[in-house]
Structures are given as C-alpha cells and as structure tokens.
Amino acid sequence: MPAKAPKTLSKFRDVQVELDKSGVALFRDAQGVESLIVRSPYAIQYIHSYAEDTPFFLGLAEGRLRGSRCTNSRCGFVYATPRSHCMACTAPTEWLDLPTTGRLHSWTTCYFGSEAFLKETPYNLALVEFDGVGSLLLARLKEAKQSDLYIGLPVEARFEPTPKYSITDVWFVPKAAPKAPGPKPAGRSR
C-alpha cells in the first residue's frame, strides 16, 4: 500500500500543526511552489570559553561577586562586571570582591523568557547598585512581592549551591530587615 501523500498547506502555522501530527507537510508558497517540510530532532553541545572572565564564574561558585577595578591611579573606575580593560581610559583592570549586598537601582518584570526561564515567569530582572561601584549588575530578583519593590530596596546576593558556571548562578533577594533586639533566649547568655 503506498504511503499517504503529505498534506499540502499554504499557511506556515498550519504546517507547524501538521508537523506536530505527522512530522511531514507540503508547503505551497504564494507563487505556488511546493516544498516538502520535515521535522527532526536537532541538538548541539555548545562549547564556550569564558577566557579572561573565568575568575568571575569561579567566584560565583564560591559565593563571591567579583568586579573589575581600573589600575590607572588617575581613573580607578570600578565595574560590577568582568571587564579586562577600562571603558573610560582603556587601562587594564584588576579583580576585586564586590559587596554581596546592594540596592535595587531599577527592575523590570518579564512575562516571557527563553526556555530556561519559562517556568519562572513572571520574574523580575533587577539592576543592582553597590557602594563604591560605578556600574550596575543585571540579575534576577527572587522572593520579592511585586508590591514590596521600590528603587533603593536593599538586596542581597544568593548563589546557586550546585554551580552551573553561568550568570544565573547568582540572583538577589530583598535583604531581611535586621531583627529587633528582643530578650535573650534563656540559657544562652554568657
């Protein structure tokens, strides 16, 4: 028995539906040209070198945020991100540890994201500012109620316990307010 001929369709969204069903379709374009469309799995292993940014990603795995400081004494600009050379004066930079607490400079709420973030939507992307640092760090802001967010909100970094060596190894949460001093628990005073 001959195989069933593929369905001929002229709208690409219909082709996509047909591919879900049968894995094959004939697409007829506006000029009447027919193209056989097939669907097959495709996966790649992408090998990426962090090169001179390596200490930043190793730092995340140790719970450290590393920024870059311009080595030119007349400049000394501090960046919240890896940067091998200063954008202001082109001098080489050196690594420095950033504070793991900062303030919310600005944020946006994402209702759509790439596949890796779809399960988290809606989520907040924050620009975080640090004392003594001249640029901002972009990261997710978690555990925050939308109504509690404001510019200047104190935030602190959280680090992925099982590092993926990706920028998503760090995110921020609102910094817990210091607990009001209360009576000392019995038996623990010295």
List residues near Zn ion by CB under 5 A: 70, 72, 75, 77, 86, 88-89, 91
* Beta bridge mates, 97: 66
How many other CB atoms are found less than 10 A from the CB of residue 127? 19
CB of 130 to Zn ion, least distance (A): 18
The least CB distance from residue 100 to Zn ion, in Å, is 24
Closer by beta carbon to Zn ion, 8 or else 84: 84
* Smallest separation, CB 142 to Zn ion (Å): 33
Helices within 11-163 (DSSP H only): 12-22, 54-61
Closest Cα to residue 154, out of 180, 179, 132, 176? 176
**Rounded-to-integer distance, Cα 109 and Cα 121, Å:** 9
Shortest Å distance, C-beta 77 to Zn ion: 5
Peptide bond preceding 41 in cis form (omega within 30 of 0): no
Judged by CB, which is closer to Zn ion: 91, or 138? 91
Minimum CB separation of residue 69 from Zn ion in Å reads 9
Alpha-carbon distance of 85 to 20, in angstroms, equals 49
Nearer to Zn ion, 24 or 91 (CB): 91
Q: What does the alpha-carbon distance between residue 17 and residue 38 come to, in Å, rounded to a whole number?
A: 12
Q: Choose between 68 and 124: whose C-beta lies nearer to Zn ion.
A: 68
Question: Of 89 and 151, which CB lies nearer to Zn ion in the complex structure?
Answer: 89
Strand partners, 28: 34
